[in-house]
A and B are shown apart, each in its own frame.
Chain A
Amino acid sequence: MTDWIAFIALITGALFVLVSAIGLLRLPDLFMRMHATTKTTSLGITLILIGVLITFPTWSVLLKGLLIIAFIFLTSPLGAHMISKAGYLLGIKKWDRYVRDDLNRDHHLSKE
Chain B
Amino acid sequence: MIILGAKIALYLLIASFFLIMVRLIKGPTLPDRVISLDLLAFVALGIVLLNMIITGELEYLDIVIVISLVIFIATVAIAKYLTKGKDHD
Q: A: which residues have CB within 8 A of B?
A: 3-4, 6-8, 10-11, 13-15, 17-18, 20-22, 24-25, 30, 33-34, 37, 41, 44-45, 48-49, 51-52, 55-56, 58, 60-61, 64-65, 67-68, 71-72, 75-76, 78-80, 82-87, 89-90, 92-93
Contacts and interface: CB of A to CB of B under 8 A. Distances in A.
A49 B22 CA distance: 27
B20 A24 contact: yes
A24 B19 contact: yes
Given A37-B39, A85-B89, A64 B62 contact: yes
A22 B71 CA distance: 21
Given A17-B46, A24-B19, A64-B61, A85 B79 contact: yes
B49 A92 contact: no
A83 B37 CA distance: 12
B31 to A, nearest CB: 4
A35 B69 CA distance: 21
Contact of B46 (A13, A58, A79): A13
Contact of B35 (A33, A64, A75, A90): A33
A76 B64 CA distance: 15
A11, A18, A90: residue with the most chain B Cβ atoms closer than 10 Å: A18
